[in-house]
A and B are shown apart, each in its own frame.
Chain A
Amino acid sequence: MADLTRRFMLKATGAIGASMLSAGGAAAGTRGSEAASPGGARVAAGASPSIYVFLNREEAAFIESAVARLIPADAKWPGALEAGVSNYIDKQLAGAWGAGERLYRSGPWRPGTPSQGYQLPFTPAELFRAALGAINRDLSQAGTPFARMSSEQQDGYLRRLESGEKNLGGVPSDVFFEHLWQCTVEGFFSDPVYGGNRSMVAWRMVGFPGAYASYYELVDQHGIHIDRAPTSLAEDANGHMIINPGIPAKSP
């Protein structure tokens, strides 16, 4: 029955995330319900929280709290947690990228110079599993799990990971941190089809209009203010979104 420990809903976190989502999305007033809207398909507020297929309970607790510190929510805009970045990370680790898609995986394995880049044998899934296991063991020995630390303590711990101070089951902690940060940025800014960037909040925050992009008429109107709702590659004319985090990285 080991599978069941990996598949569960974080109901509490999901509810908090969703309510922050509708508060943070500026024009949410007209879209509190699941009404379809042109040019701005929405995952409905109060939508189902993340169902994790890779991360176990302890791993998910760390990831959720960590991404919430890496890109926090503020009064104006939701952060990575509310945007579903932990869901994005879970689905990536469970999918082809996590399994080592497009990664040269033959040895021998030697530590290289910084110019030579990543030289560890771990796939991303193996890397996260090893590192998260080491982190959770480390913190449970020390007494306080990451999720129960104060924000300042969490930031301090993340900075120590970032500095490379720890070895996490064979993964230098700075290598793990770099992976975690890169995944967080991806999960925040990628198309919502991958399970993050819920309701395209990150795109709204910076003003990126999204996947439909035809600007011939506007490009020479210098300084024009573009205020349309962003569009995902996964939405149809009625504003319905189809989420598919399993899109592989190979050419059509």
Chain B
Amino acid sequence: MSRELTRTLAAAIASVGVVGAMHAHAQSPSRPPDAGRGAVIAAQGVAPRVPACAQCHAFDGASEGSGAFPRIAGQSTYYLGKQMRDFASGVRTDAVMTPIGKALSTEEVADVAAYYATVASPFLPLKSGDPTLVKRGEQLAQIGDESKHLQSCDDCHGPGGAGEPPAIPYLAGQYAHYIAFQLQMWQRGFRKSSPDAMEYIAKRLDDRDVAAVAAYFQQARTATPPAQPKE
């Protein structure tokens, strides 16, 4: 096995402690996650029910930049695994992801999560958003807005939106369209994860503020992260 893959495998194994200790209602995987198998699922899917992740998310997890599909490279195994379980259970609903979530086994989810968590992936060169919107988004992200009863996004989403693994995803470098779409899903009650935090906050953002945080976070991270380390 290549040195790269050995390292990602080691990292994936190190994350088992997290995966294994997760919600009581999830079945524990019967073996340690295998990022190598995850790469295969990402590339080929699981016949006959599950299309290749790479078709939408790209093999490197950067998707294609339109925001129709989120960037998933480097999200924690915990978070990626939880999203799949949420699709399976109905906490999240999506015409494409829901059947995939239901079709993948616990082991397959862990494998794919291990793969995408550790893949190094560049940030695509995208058009910058409207500078006034980006500035407003930066304010909401780093400072908040007292009049709207909003704390800064970074309080939970980490330095510059880089995430607080394992449970809280990065926003920095996530696609604007996708961020906006998810906030709308919370506003309308279709996304039921972290309701006391995210539904509450989403409902206090008006359309302009949604566009602002989306535009800001898309351009908030420019340095290419290395393969996700676990230490």
Contact = CB atoms under 8 A, between A and B. Distances in A.
A36 B18 contact: no
B230 A237 contact: no
Interface of B: 7, 14-15, 17-18, 21-23, 74, 76, 154-156, 158-168, 170, 172-173, 194, 196-197, 220-223, 225-231
A220 to B, nearest CB: 10
Given A39-B158, A236-B160, A228 B225 contact: no
A16 interface: no
Contacts of A40: 229, 231
Given A38-B170, A224-B21, 5 more contacts: A31-B226, A37-B225, A37-B226, A229-B231, A238-B221
Given A26-B231, A214-B168, A225-B17, A39 B22 contact: no
Contacts of B229: 27, 30-31, 37, 40, 229
A225 B21 contact: yes
21 contacts: A30-B227, A31-B226, A31-B229, A35-B226, A39-B162, A40-B229, A40-B231, A41-B159, A212-B159, A213-B164, A214-B155, A215-B167, A216-B196, A218-B167, A221-B22, A226-B166, A229-B229, A231-B159, A237-B158, A237-B161, A237-B162
Given A217-B194, A225-B21, A30 B226 contact: yes
A38 B168 contact: no
Helix, strand, loop or mixed for chain A's interface? loop
A39 B223 contact: no
A12 to B, nearest CB: 29
Given A218-B167, A224-B21, A237 B226 contact: no
A39 B197 contact: no
Contact of A39 (B15, B23, B163, B222): B163
A212 B225 CA distance: 19
